[in-house]
Every structure is written in C-alpha cells, then in structure tokens.
Structure 1
Amino acid sequence: MHGHLIRLASIVAAAAAFARTVSAQKAAAPFAARLEQAHAPLQVGADGTLHRAGATIIAAVVREARYVLIGEDHLSREIPQFATAICRIMAPGGLHAFAIETGPEATRVVNANLRRPDRIAAFARAYPDVMAFQNGRDESDMAAACANAAGPRFQLWGLDQEFLGVTGFLLEQMLAAYPGPIARAAIAGLAARDRDFTAKAISTASASDLAIYKLSDAEMHATRRAIAIDGGARANALFAALAETRDIYRRQQIDGYASNGQRARLMKRTLLHYLADAPAAARVLFKFGDVHMAKGVNDLRSVTSAIS
C-alpha cells in the first residue's frame, strides 16, 4: 500500500510539473508571436540599395537623424553596401561628412582623390600600409558613392590614429612642409631609419619590424626637440600624430587597456576638432567597429559611450 502511495504521489508530481511546463509555454507564446510580428526583413542590394519592409523602417528613422552610427564587424562586403545605402538616404536632407576608422592624414589623401576613377590606387601601391580600410575596393567604392550622392562639400572625417606603416609617409609630409635646417636634418635622419626598418619588415614579412615599433624613445625625443626649434606648425603637428600613433601601437603590446583608452580619447578629440570647423547642425554618418559604437563595457575592456 505504501509503495502504491509513493508511485501515485510521483505520478501526481510529474503531472503537475508537466502542467506547469505547458502553462509556461502557453504564457510565452504571445511574446514570441509579438516578436515575430515586429520582425521586418531587410535586403541589401549589391548596388547599395535597401529593399523590403526593413528598408522603409530604416529610411524613416535615418531621414530624421542628425547623427547616424553604424557599428560593424570589419571587412565584409555587405556592410559597405549597407553604408552606401544609408548615405543615399541621408544625402537629400544634407550629409556633411562620413566619419571613419582611419587616420586623419590618410583620410586627407582619400578626400583629395574621392572623385577620381582610379582614386587611391597609385597611392596604395606606393604606401601599402599607410591606411586602414580605405585601401580596399569595397570601402573605397563606398566612400566614392557617398561623395557622389552628397555633393561637392562632402568629406570623410578620419578619427583614428594613423596606421602602422605610416612613418615614412608622415616624414615625407614633414619634409614637404619646408622645415628649417635643424628640423630637416633630424627628419631626414629618421626617414633613413624608416627605410631600413621597412626593408627589414618586407624581408621578414613581419609588421613588428616596422619603424612604428622599432624606433627608440631616444630617437623620437631627439627628433621632437629638433622639430620644435624650426620645424614649423605643420611639421610639429605631423610629428605629434606620428608619436601618438607609435604610443598606441606599442602600448597595445603591453597594456591593451591603456592603449585603447588613449585611442578612445584621441578619437573624441579629433571628432571635436572636425565639429568645430563644420557648419551648424551638420549631419554626419559614422562607421566604426561595433566595440567603438557601443555603450557600456565592451570587448576592448573599456567603458564606452559611442566612438570608443
């Protein structure tokens, strides 16, 4: 009798558990149904156009926005196509700039060639590691399409540090800024060192042999002092960009948190510089890695609030 009671109690308990499960599933069903009703399909065309119901929703929001932020997984073909479509939606209402994850000096070159059919092909061959992203076909086509849609005053804003192979290019720009003899000698000496490091990096196929990693603190300090004497404003600004780029890359090897924090502050300062020169109420599209666009703690181990 006792055994029958135990079995009966077990059956009742199992039935009750089953009933609770079914009840929970029924309770969850309305939310799942509502979620499905809120779903809107989106198709991105290879020509940089958006289609289906999701396109209508996105267009309505984007047309009313002053700032539009795209957080991406880098180096896909579809996201530049999507960003092109966003440019075309924003352009009729005015699109002043497109802020990208590239250095300001590299972006200056891109802006100067945005409307040329060959754009930066020759530059990329001469300086293969000077810029991030814009030396690729998909990103370059996106930038050109946005410029075509937005009109002659449109420009790219480069907010990031310069890229790891930028040393020789920046030194050339310093020499082209007509520094005085003391600064010129120091810059030329550093440029010779850069050529040696570049040759080594090519022979070893290792970016860690580039000048950005190999130049010593003593060499950098000596060159900074010389440029401060008679280099002029442009050469001093370019050297400051080189020095900060070097700091960010070298710190990444020993303290990623400090490096990413420095990079985030640089992006914010550079953005403020661009905004100070922009027309009032300028509309800007941003496209950065998703960790830079997020709010809260991100994969870079830092707390962010859009643009790192």
Structure 2
Amino acid sequence: MGRHRRIFGPEAFLLAVAILAAPGIAADIPKVDLPAKIAASSRPFAYDADGGLSGPGGAFIESATANSQFVLLGEDHYLRETPRFAAALYRMLHARHGFRHLVVEQDRYAMEDVLAPERRGDAKEIGKWVRRYPGSFEFGSDQDIGLLALAGKLDRGAMAICGIEQAVGAPRYLEDLARMAPRSEVRNEVEALHALALKLDSEPTYSVNFLIAPGTLERLERLRSIYGAQPGSRADEMLLGLIRSAEIFGYYRRAEAGEPVGLFNNTVREDWFKRLFMRCYRHMAGDGALPKAMFKFGSNHMFRGKNPTQAFPIGNFAHEFATANGREAYGLLIVPLIGTGYGDIPAELRVMLPAEVPLVPTVVDLRALRPLQRWLRASLKEVESTAFREIVNGYDAIVLLPGEGPATMMLSGLRSIG
C-alpha cells in the first residue's frame, strides 16, 4: 500500500464494531448538580470604607487577576452601580497588582483634557468641561466622571487614562484645527464646518449628528487635502480621526438605509480601537516597565474571540497581546440586576447564574463552569446556545450588581441619553 493507508480498511471496520458493542460508551452522560456547581462558583463581595473591594468575591477577583496584564470590564452603559464597581476594581488593581492605566471607550482628546492640570483628579472641574463640550464625552455621567477623576489621582503619568474611541465631539477638534490652520482659506473652511457641527449637535447632550450626516466624510477628506498637515502631527491626527469616525458612522447610516455595509461599522471601528491603543501602549511602555491596564468598554468589545457582531474586538486583541507578553488578560462581564428577580436577562445568561437571585454584589467564576458547557446549554435553543458559547468562552467571570439603576448627570447638568 506504500505510504498511503485506506481510510476504511479492515482495522477501521473492527474498531467501529467494537465501539458499537461496548456498553455505555457515549450513551450515558453523567449527571451534574448544576445549581450546586454554580453556587460553589459564586462569591459575594462588598465595598470597603475606602471604596475598594472586600469579602470572598473581592479576594477571588484579586487572586484571579494576579497574572493579568490587562483586565477587561464589559458593561451596559449609562448605569449607576457599574462605574462604582469599576472604580473599586481599579483601586484594587492599582494597589495590589501595579496597574497604572485606564483604557476607556472615550474620545482621545477628551481624555487629554481630563488630565489637564486644572482638571486632573477633580470631578467638579471635569463636570464643567463635560458641560462645555457635551459631544466629546460619550459617557459623561457623575459616576463615569468619578472614575476618570480617580484614575487621574492614582497615577500622575501622561497615560493614566487612554481614550481609544473613534473621534466624537467634532466642535472641540475643529476649534483646535482652526487655531492651527496654515492659511486663511483653510481656516475659513474649518470655521464653516465648525458652525455646521454646532448647528447639528446643539442639544445639551452627547450626539454625533454632524459626523453621521451625508456629505460630512467628503468635506473632511477635502479639508485634509487642502490643510497640508505633516503626517503624524497633531493636526493630521485630528483630521484623520474625524475622517475615520465619519466613515464608521457612515456605515451605520447606510446600513440603516438598507445598504449591506453594517459589518464594517463594527470591524473598522475595532481596528481603529487597536490602532489608537497601540499608540497609547508605546507611550505607556516608554519607561521599560510592562504596562498594566484596565479596560472599560461596552460588553460587545471585550470578548475573547469573535464577538456577536462578527468582529475580532479590542478585547480579543488584549488577550492575544497579553499572551505574547507572557501574561494573560482577564475579562469580567457586568450583568446589572434592575428591580427584583432576573427580569429580562436572556436564557443564555440565566443558565450560568445562581438559582437564588443575589441580594448583594456577586462574582461568578466562568472558568470553573467552562468544562460544564455541555450540561449548562442542554435546555437552550440553538440561537441561545450560540450566544451561551460566546459568553462562557469569551469572558472569565460574571459580575452581578443588584439594585442597579440609571446614572446621574448632576456634575455636568446635561440630559442623559441612557
């Protein structure tokens, strides 16, 4: 027969007969007490007097993140308790594991403004800036502002906070571009765009009407061509950021109109996250130490592997990058509990949660439940089973936050969009 063996030869036939004859092989699935396993994997935690984590759950998270270069927090937005947990987690990571950087789903230049000496670490002053530039802060609640102030206090470095969101708050960009404009005709075009942006985004809240509007992308591309900024300069980075953002928002607008480009709204955005993160990372690593960072993003961005919107997100990039550096990333999915019971929490999540709804914050260890996937998903429909696999393999723990509610906006006085 030479080098090649027949796939279905006598040996294969005899093996098949033996398997069919063997009693119990692949027929009897051992029973697992899932409620007991989930209960054993669930640990309550609390907040101590200093705003840090305490209790069995706090000790578990501290131990679970000990070898992490990156800790990834996947959230629902515009809630009150989630940023509070994020602040407590960051305090612990900073104190126990030497984390010095907070990476957020916020505008790059807005985070530079937050770290300016006159605002750094001061929630009230940051709130005033949010009021002045509402479109620059995708998440400008009192609780999110408090987290930004904390990060600015805990570390005094230039990269204490890194914003890697696509450009938002076009008026803030265009003000700087007008000041840096090399010629009067360029300045006139910038000022015309600035006036249009103020008109389209005039409400006292976060909005991106200018960037998503038809024709904006083309006007920004023309502006970059006549501006003549040196590649890599602040002006060129601002122009490129506005262009990429108008492109990404444009995919969303066009998809809503029926054009098959919705995928690119996700994939191009995730690639832009990675580009801006690597820019921050190179600065973080400037002193030769291994940078350690906590990420706080919408849950879709923090998955390990491909996320539900068919992109390989910044979260997956962080996992792979940490592995390449000889460390790991640890992902926590925040599940807010609003009202009583599990309410509208989907089935693919409910099968991993304690039978009794927790009355206090609780962390569920998904690494311990991962080997039980076959049993956990047995009652799920096919579409639910797919979502279950994405979660149990894409995150390392679930954090349940009872008593969750809407964020407040007192520091900025803006209208919430949550």
Q: How does 1:118-267 map to 2 (within 5 A)?
A: 118-133=124-139, 135-151=140-156, 155-163=160-168, 166-198=169-201, 202=203, 209-210=209-210, 212-228=212-228, 233-253=233-253, 254=255, 255-267=261-273
Q: 1:58/1:298 Cα in 2 relative to 1: closer, same or farther (>3 Å)?
A: same
Given candidates 47, 63, 67, the residue that maps to 1:60 is 63
Contact 1:197–1:214 under 8 Å retained in 2: no
Between the aligned partners of 1:161 and 1:79, the Cα distance in structure 2 is 23
Query: Which protein, 1 or 2, shows the higher relative CO under an 8 Å CA cutoff with sep ≥ 6?
Result: 2
State the partner residue of 2:120.
Answer: 114
Q: 1:221/1:37 Cα in 2 relative to 1: closer, same or farther (>3 Å)?
A: closer
Given candidates 257, 275, 284, the residue that maps to 1:278 is 284
Q: Which structure carries more helix by proportion?
A: 1
Q: 1:190/1:304 Cα in 2 relative to 1: closer, same or farther (>3 Å)?
A: closer
State the partner residue of 1:300.
Answer: 309
Q: After superposition, give the CA deviation of every residue in 1:228-256 in whole Å (9 maximum; x if it has no partner).
A: 27899322221111111111111112222
Contact 2:135–2:201 under 8 Å retained in 1: no
Contact 2:217–2:246 under 8 Å retained in 1: no
**2:109 pairs with 1:105:** yes
Instruction: Give the letter aligned to residue 75 of structure 1.
Output: Y
Between the aligned partners of 2:173 and 2:299, the Cα distance in structure 1 is 29
Q: TM-score, normalised by structure 1?
A: 0.78
Given candidates 67, 86, 89, the residue that maps to 1:86 is 89
Query: Secondary structure of 2:165's match?
Result: coil
Between the aligned partners of 1:206 and 1:73, the Cα distance in structure 2 is 17
Structure 2 unaligned spans of 5+: 1-27, 256-260, 318-418
Instruction: Give the letter aligned to residue 295 of structure 1.
Output: R
Q: After superposition, give the CA deviation of every residue in 1:102-160 in whole Å (9 maximum; x if it has no partner).
A: 12112111222232352322222222222211x21101111212333345566110011
Between the aligned partners of 1:50 and 1:157, the Cα distance in structure 2 is 24
Query: Secondary structure of 2:134's match?
Result: coil
Q: 1:306/1:174 Cα in 2 relative to 1: closer, same or farther (>3 Å)?
A: same
Between the aligned partners of 1:213 and 1:122, the Cα distance in structure 2 is 28
Query: Secondary structure of 1:295's match?
Result: coil
Q: How does 1:11-90 map to 2 (within 5 A)?
A: 27-29=31-33, 32-44=35-47, 48-90=51-93
Query: Secondary structure of 1:241's match?
Result: helix
Contact 1:115–1:144 under 8 Å retained in 2: yes
Q: CA RMSD in A?
A: 3.1
Contact 1:98–1:284 under 8 Å retained in 2: yes
- Number of equivalences: 278
Q: TM-score, normalised by structure 2?
A: 0.59
Contact 2:115–2:158 under 8 Å retained in 1: no
Contact 1:177–1:235 under 8 Å retained in 2: yes
**2:289 pairs with 1:289:** no
